[in-house]
Amino acid sequence: MRKYSTKNYTLTDGSVVTIQDIMLATNLSYTGAVGRLRQSKDPLFIFADKSKRGIHLNRVKVIEPWVDKPTKVCGGIPYECSYLDGTIDVNGNVVDRNGKVLSKNERDSLEKFRCDSRQEWRVMRRLMIDDLIQGE
């Protein structure tokens, strides 16, 4: 292996490592090892396996639950309905029912909410069909 800088780096747990130690332990390139040291001094992050396609190793994706606002009704006509959340405007942005652009986390939480709602609907529908069949 090529000789690299022998500079010692102190991690948060008090251990002292060199770039070559990180390269050997993780099978990263020199650039990858230096990049991890720049991002964090946490040994769990530094010595984690290689990431796939740039996925951050120390971040866990947390999806906040979507809060569905009630539909407003005026004179028997509904407006600002929940099905308008997640529509695409003329610029290609995903917006809510008021035209506010949704962030990535909001889009993810809306998608999860709709998947869960659909699954609940399918279970309830199956139960209703089974009740009708047994009632005959």
- Strands 16-17, 9-10: parallel, antiparallel or unpaired by DSSP? antiparallel
pLDDT digits (tens, 9 = 90+) for 33-69: 898 888 888 888 888 877 654 555 556 667 788 888 8
Residues listed for the chain:
136
pLDDT digits (tens, 9 = 90+) for 61-101: 677 888 888 999 999 999 889 889 999 999 889 999 999 99
Q: What are the structure tokens assigned to 60, written together?
A: 């866990």
pTM: 0.52
- DSSP for 81-121, please give it: -GGGTTEE-TTS-EE-TTSPBPPHHHHHHHHHHHHHHHHHH
User: Angle 19-26/30-39 helices, nearest 10 degrees?
Assistant: 110
Q: Is the pLDDT score of 115 beyond 50? A: yes
pLDDT digits (tens, 9 = 90+) for 19-41: 998 888 888 888 988 988 888 88
Least confident segment among 4-18, 56-70, 107-121: 56-70
pLDDT for res 4: 67
pLDDT for res 53: 44
